[in-house]
Structure 1
Amino acid sequence: MTPQELKDLAERYRRDGFVHARGLIPHEDIAALAPAVDMAVARRKGHDTRGLDEKTPYEQSFIQCQYIWEDFPDVRGLTFHPRLGEALGALLGAEKVRLWHDQALYKESGGRETEAHQDHAYWPIAEPDTITAWIPLIPVDEVTGCMGYVPGSHEADLEFVDIFRAEGQGEALLARQAAEPVFCPAQPGDVLFHAGRTVHMAKANHSDHMRRVYTAIYFKDGCTRGGERAHPSVDRDRIPQGARIAGGATPVVWPLVDGRIPEPEPWPESQDERFLRNRASGVIPGR
């Protein structure tokens, strides 16, 4: 993108809390990298033979696989794509950008809506300088489950919405918003960016095929840990409360030193119940 295009993109992002960057990643790159994401999801979730109606409401919203760049190296070209990194730096106004974590969010045919929520409420990051890149691997529209964003909601209060265990809380959050959500059909190569505090949701998948989407969360270098809420992106590097978040679990994605993509660090062993459950289910690496 030209400097003026990046400036315009950043202005819209800062005004609305989200922005649709059309054709940011070359189509041929998406075509080459999408099979790696498909492979990651297939291998992580290959043991799960449950039908959609046997899953929890949260699992009915999407199949979730996190940190796939770490155990599936062919995904890294997307996570650390230079055009993506350049845009992240402009939108965050950052000289250096770090990865919080990536994830595949595949919505099955018949999958329910993703309820309205604000991502930042789930992360122990003190500063608001967080951003998600939502990258469709197929055309996505209101039938397959496109994203919706509430303009300006990134400037409002941050609320924790328990989309994991309770149905309907997202509707209550949405009812308190000052604006209606804007839904954004998108094509492969497009990237939808939204701030960690932006209220967002996704429609149900009424199509006959899987909605395949890769996402990654990034943050401005210099952000610090806020609170003791557990999260692998800080716990793996033993980041204490108030300390700068920097380590092998949160590598720099832009600018890359000499253009080299970093290698992931090993995951420590743990007997934590949630950790073991997420590993067994394929949400995190190591199954």
Structure 2
Amino acid sequence: MNLEIDTRLVEAYRRDGFVHAPGLLSAAKIAEYGAAVDEAVARRKARDTRTLDEKTPYEQSFIQCQYIWEDFPEVRPLTFHPRVCGLAAALIGAPRLRLWHDQALYKEAGGRETEAHTDHPYWPIAGRDNTLTAWIPLQAVDLDVGCMGYVPGSQNDEAAFIDIFTAPGAGKALEARYADTPARFVPCAPGDVIFHHGHTVHMAKPNRSDRTRRVYTAIYFADGARRGGDRAHPSVDRDGIGDGGVIDGAATPLAWPLPDGRLPTPAPWPEMTGRRAQHAKLLGIVPDTAG
């Protein structure tokens, strides 16, 4: 599929490290995709009956369900949508693009802020300009519901690992570092997509509304990228890709252009018996291969 790319979006992304693409998808399609993601989240989280107050600070920032394209086929047309993936490829200048993983990030009513961080340090992918995330709201998102904020130009700096998982408040030091360049918060309408660079500092407002903020995201990277380091991650560990190896396994299929125009078929998950893996399956963060 040939796409007409707005060069202004590419210029803005490369200047600021993020870009807001209004109306990239139709509102009608977002409603359809949103229903599929809602179903995925509901089924994945069925066993997690905790209240917001009973969750960890990280979990209070959002409900997280990863790799839902794999066990919910109705989500796949969004994950691999040609307008999303084609623009993502153009933004990073990649002739071919792969999926790292997708995820739903649903911020519950009363959910806390998402602390300032950069993404790439969480992923064992070598290189600095070959990853980006598509942030796709499934509803209107404003300052009260918990819209995203991005520090323009921060993609040019060295990205540090910020432990937003177990160290509440860790992101505040990063905000202080950019006190002279405050984050730019971006309200969105259904059909809008925001793309941000793997090194861009970003965060989200708390959800002060009485409804859940529903967002789907997908992380993409340039085909040909190699694994950088031995940090554990299912997107490379499932395919046995070692440090320095090209990341081209079944867990990270081509997203643009799609081979023969066909949506990828996911590979089976290996049996995971470790405590951390069992916890992730119980909470619906990753697919439960045992059903």
TM-score range, shorter chain: over 0.9
**Structure 2 letter corresponding to 1:122:** Y
Q: Partner of 2:199: helix, strand, or coil?
A: coil
Q: Partner of 1:65: helix, strand, or coil?
A: strand
* CA displacement 1:51-102 (0-9 Å, x = unmatched): 1111000000000000000000000010011111110111010110000000
Q: Distance in 1 between matches of 2:188 and 2:51?
A: 28
Q: Distance in 2 between matches of 1:256 and 1:93?
A: 17
Q: What's the % identity of the aligned pairs? A: 63
Please list every run of 5 or more consecutive structure 2 residues that lacks an aligned counterpart in the other structure. Answer: none
Q: Which residue of 2 aligns with 1:158?
A: 159
1:19-168 alignment, distance < 5 Å: 19-128=19-128, 129-168=130-169
Q: Partner of 2:191: helix, strand, or coil?
A: coil
Provide closer, same or farther for how the CA distance between residues 77 and 2 of structure 1 changes in structure 2, counting only shifts above 3 A.
closer
Q: 1:2 deviation in Å? A: 6.7
Q: 1:26 deviation in Å? A: 1.6
Please list every run of 5 or more consecutive structure 1 residues that lacks an aligned counterpart in the other structure. Answer: none
Q: Which residue of 2 aligns with 1:188?
A: 190
Q: Distance in 2 between matches of 1:119 and 1:62?
A: 16
Q: Which aligned segments of 4 or more residues in structure 1 are displaced greater than 3 angstroms?
A: 1-4
Q: Distance in 2 between matches of 1:85 and 1:162?
A: 29
Residues 63 and 105, structure 2, Cα contact 8 Å, conserved in 1:
yes
Residues 102 and 218, structure 2, Cα contact 8 Å, conserved in 1:
yes
Q: Which residue of 1 aligns with 2:253?
A: 251
Provide closer, same or farther for how the CA distance between residues 121 and 187 of structure 1 changes in structure 2, counting only shifts above 3 A.
same
Q: Distance in 1 between matches of 2:168 and 2:214?
A: 23
Which among 240, 243, 246 is matched to residue 241 of structure 1? Answer: 243
Root mean square deviation of aligned Cα: 1.1
* CA displacement 1:197-220 (0-9 Å, x = unmatched): 100000000000000000010000
Q: Distance in 2 between matches of 1:26 and 1:152?
A: 30
Residues 136 and 215, structure 2, Cα contact 8 Å, conserved in 1:
yes
Q: Distance in 2 between matches of 1:269 and 1:48?
A: 21
Q: Partner of 1:105: helix, strand, or coil?
A: strand
Q: 1:279 deviation in Å? A: 1.0
**Structure 2 letter corresponding to 1:22:** P
Which among 196, 199, 209 is matched to residue 207 of structure 1? Answer: 209
Count of residues in Structure 1 that have an aligned counterpart in Structure 2: 286
Q: Distance in 1 between matches of 2:28 and 2:169?
A: 40
Provide closer, same or farther for how the CA distance between residues 207 and 227 of structure 1 changes in structure 2, counting only shifts above 3 A.
same
* CA displacement 1:99-142 (0-9 Å, x = unmatched): 00000000000000000000111000011210000000000000
Residues 104 and 217, structure 2, Cα contact 8 Å, conserved in 1:
yes
Q: 1:168 deviation in Å? A: 1.0
Q: Distance in 1 between matches of 2:92 and 2:229?
A: 22
* CA displacement 1:205-245 (0-9 Å, x = unmatched): 00000000000100000110000000000000000100110
Which among 230, 246, 271 is matched to residue 269 of structure 1? Answer: 271
Greater mean deviation of Cα atoms: 274-283 or 143-152:
274-283
Q: Distance in 1 between matches of 2:166 and 2:258?
A: 39
Q: Which residue of 1 aligns with 2:234?
A: 232
Q: Distance in 2 between matches of 1:175 and 1:243?
A: 37
Q: Partner of 1:103: helix, strand, or coil?
A: strand
Which among 261, 265, 280 is matched to residue 282 of structure 2? Answer: 280
Normalised by the length of structure 2, the TM-score is 0.96
Q: Distance in 2 between matches of 1:108 and 1:29?
A: 23
Q: Distance in 2 between matches of 1:245 and 1:65?
A: 22
Normalised by the length of structure 1, the TM-score is 0.98
Q: Partner of 1:37: helix, strand, or coil?
A: helix
